């Protein structure tokens, strides 16, 4: 797959644009033809892990289309695989959907419908299109054939309806061991679509379920439960990613064979629990996944990163889980902007990670107040400023938006500046501080470096210089020109903070590509997290968790939502001011 870098449009333009894509056109056509009275969609994650950035596209699409066409979207937890699921993940999914800015119409679980699934399976057996198979899993797989060779009928395929009903009810009663019997659909073992070769409907698993406890020793398979859940909830447009395209014939087969709208006896018991939706026939529509360079979106591999200690948890800011991105400081608006920009298609591709970073920068530039911080400090002493001098300067919180107001910034004789804002032997084109050179100290005036202080080992430990007080804004010398401006923090008033400098988790665009002989774990970026002790102006430290700022000239940062305290600030770098990866790649 190619890596795409779509042209970026202004955020305001993206927000004002009427979305045009093939799915929305299908919806518009269906409404124009009076096929549906209202649009009903759903987002159906499996609660066996936290959501990642790939899910953001599915969330924005399903909830977004429902909102755009005055319909509704359900959040449905696909909890048909007990043992891997956890209530912690359920709560995490709900939290992530809310954080992205969406609200569901109904919160449902596939397990809400277990009785309907069971009764529907009985119907399929009675109709002669389902049977109980005794083949072990390995043999069943061998009987399925290959992409080039047809499958073979199971020796148990021609059991009578009566025998199948008896065996299935005994499966339900818990008489048989795990894996000893499987209920399968009777379709076509010679089909060119492997999914239609008598797929499993139910398997025996005597595992406690998070919602139903030990009530069920058998559990439905995803392909069976998913489509019937859609039908039960009256979903009109079932949106899913392209890997389910080959499953669509099976989806339609189950929906048509069970025919819930015309068999109310299968679902009337749900009425007693307050279920009011009328079943319908849903339409499955596939779209391309959100694939980003420098990313892993496999739940199994994300779980491996956590279990093997490569990260500090599911919400580690290096992770591309929504919880990790949130903790790093990514914004819901920035993620929604990304989804708008990449659009909806049926063509798989990989989107350049720089596009995501650009969307986040665009949102943060407009919404983040400015503060000054020094991450790699060296002290500058202004020797012509009195030792006891202190004053309060007034800085705008946002250079482009007066509504952000002003803030007080203390200034004194000694300040911290960034170490790389000084060069004893400056390279060509260096416009910051150097011996006998001048720069403008942000909001203060022009300073000149006059002395270097070094330790016994020859290491630079301090700079001495002088301030031209007439060059401050509003004074007669303010028009005097120098080429560089640097930021600072008053050493006397600075607040110490832990700053975590986060970057892309992997150092190659396609971590899963092992053509170089390395595993994906060997492509972990060792520089994805660095921790420094920084100095902040006071107004940056006394904030609540998740407060975002642009640290001037350094990037966008957020107060950590877990570890930040006013008395011990912790900030995470969300994204740099510019794309440093393009420069490294020579782009």
Residue 461, token pair as written in the block: 């430990």
Distance of CA 75 to the CA centre of its chain: 17
Q: Give me the residue label for tokens 């199994």.
A: 300
52 annotated to bind ligand: yes
CA distance 573 to 174: 54
292 annotated to bind ligand: no
Cα→Cα distances 479→339, 341, 393, 529, Å: 46, 43, 19, 42
237 annotated to bind ligand: no
Termini Cα distance of the chain: 20
46 annotated to bind ligand: yes
496 annotated to bind ligand: no
CA distance 461 to 456: 10
CB 30 within 8 A of CB 226: no
CA atoms in the 13 A half-sphere facing the CB of 7:
2
Residues designated as active site: 46, 289, 299
In sequence order, which ranges of 69-113 are alpha helices (DSSP H)?
Answer: 87-99
DSSP letter string over 454-486?
A: E-TTS-EEEEEEEEEGGGSTTSGGGG---S-EE
173 annotated to bind ligand: no
CB 449 within 8 A of CB 434: yes
Mode of pairing for the β-strands spanning 107-109 and 72-77: parallel
Q: Give me the residue label for tokens 């979305």.
A: 19
Q: Give me the residue label for tokens 């000149």.
A: 448
473 annotated to bind ligand: no
CB 522 within 8 A of CB 501: no
Q: Give me the residue label for tokens 């269906």.
A: 30
91 annotated to bind ligand: no
131 annotated to bind ligand: no
418 annotated to bind ligand: no
Torsion of CA 77, 79, 80, 85, to 10 degrees: 140
CA distance 443 to 48: 52
Mode of pairing for the β-strands spanning 72-77 and 40-43: parallel
CA distance 26 to 236: 11
Size of the chain, expressed as the number of residues it contains: 587
78 annotated to bind ligand: yes
According to DSSP, residue 426 is labeled: P
Q: At a CB cut-off of 8 Å and minimum separation 6, what does 63 contact?
A: 41, 43, 73, 97, 102, 104
CB 132 within 8 A of CB 172: no
Q: Which residues of 311-342 are buried (b: 16+ CB within 10 A; e: fewer)?
A: beebbbbbbbbbbbbbbbbbbbbbbbbbbbbb
Q: At a CB cut-off of 8 Å and minimum separation 6, what does 519 contact?
A: none
DSSP letter string over 3-14?
A: EE-PPPPPHHHH
Q: Which residues are annotated as a binding site for ATP?
A: 46-48, 52-58, 241, 289-290
Q: Which residues are annotated as a binding site for L-glutamine?
A: 78, 222
Q: Which residues are annotated as a binding site?
A: 46-48, 52-58, 78, 222, 241, 289-290
């Amino acid at each position: 797959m190619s890596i795409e870098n779509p042209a970026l449009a202004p955020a305001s333009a993206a927000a004002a644009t009427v979305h045009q894509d093939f799915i929305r056109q299908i919806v518009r056509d269906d409404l124009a033809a009076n096929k549906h009275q209202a649009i009903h969609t759903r987002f159906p994650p499996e609660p066996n892990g936290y959501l990642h950035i790939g899910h953001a596209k599915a969330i924005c699409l399903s909830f977004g289309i429902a909102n755009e066409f005055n319909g509704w979207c359900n959040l449905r937890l696909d909890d048909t695989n007990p043992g891997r699921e956890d209530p912690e993940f359920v709560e995490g999914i709900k939290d992530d959907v809310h954080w992205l800015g969406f609200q569901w119409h109904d919160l449902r679980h596939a397990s809400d419908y277990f009785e309907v699934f069971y009764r529907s399976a009985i119907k399929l057996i009675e109709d002669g299109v389902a049977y109980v198979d005794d083949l072990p899993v390995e043999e069943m797989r061998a009987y399925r054939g290959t992409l080039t060779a047809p499958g073979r009928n199971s020796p148990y395929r021609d059991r009578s309806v009566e025998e199948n009903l008896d065996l299935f009810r005994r499966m339900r009663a818990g008489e048989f061991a795990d894996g000893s019997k499987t209920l399968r659909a009777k379709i076509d073992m010679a089909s060119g679509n492997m999914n239609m070769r008598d797929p499993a409907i139910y398997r025996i698993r005597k595992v406690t379920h998070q919602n139903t406890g030990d009530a069920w020793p058998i559990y439905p398979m995803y392909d069976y439960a998913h489509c019937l859940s859609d039908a039960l909830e009256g979903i009109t447009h079932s949106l899913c990613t392209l890997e389910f395209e080959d499953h669509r014939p099976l989806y339609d087969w189950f929906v048509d064979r069970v025919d819930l709208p015309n068999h109310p006896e299968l679902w009337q018991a749900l009425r007693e629990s307050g279920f009011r939706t009328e079943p319908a026939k849903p339409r499955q529509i596939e779209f391309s996944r959100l694939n980003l360079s420098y990313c892993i979106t496999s739940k199994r591999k994300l779980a491996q990163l956590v279990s093997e200690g490569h990260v500090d948890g599911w919400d580690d800011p290096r992770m591309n889980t929504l919880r990790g991105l949130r903790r790093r400081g990514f914004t819901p608006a920035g993620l929604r902007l990304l989804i708008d920009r990449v659009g909806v298609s049926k063509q798989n591709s990989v989107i350049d990670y720089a596009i995501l970073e650009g969307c986040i920068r665009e949102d943060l530039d407009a919404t983040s107040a400015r503060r000054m911080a020094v991450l790699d400090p060296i002290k500058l002493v202004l020797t012509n400023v009195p030792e006891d001098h202190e004053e309060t300067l007034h800085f705008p919180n946002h250079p482009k938006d007066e509504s952000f107001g002003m803030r007080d910034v203390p200034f004194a004789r000694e300040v911290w500046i960034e170490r790389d804002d000084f060069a004893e032997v400056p390279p060509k084109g260096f416009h910051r501080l150097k011996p006998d050179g001048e720069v403008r100290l942000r909001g203060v005036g022009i300073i000149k470096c006059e002395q270097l202080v070094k330790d016994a080992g020859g290491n630079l430990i301090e700079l001495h210089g002088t301030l031209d007080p007439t060059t401050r804004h509003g004074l007669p010398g303010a028009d005097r020109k120098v080429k560089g401006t640097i930021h600072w923090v008053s050493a006397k008033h600075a607040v110490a903070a832990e700053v975590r400098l986060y970057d892309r988790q992997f150092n190659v665009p396609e971590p899963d590509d092992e053509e170089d002989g390395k595993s994906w774990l060997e492509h972990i970026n060792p520089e994805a997290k660095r921790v420094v002790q920084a100095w902040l102006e006071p107004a940056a430290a006394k904030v609540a968790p998740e407060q975002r700022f642009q640290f001037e000239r350094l990037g966008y940062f957020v107060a950590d939502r877990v570890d930040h305290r006013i008395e011990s600030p912790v900030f995470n770098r969300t994204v740099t001011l510019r794309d440093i990866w393009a420069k490294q790649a020579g782009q």
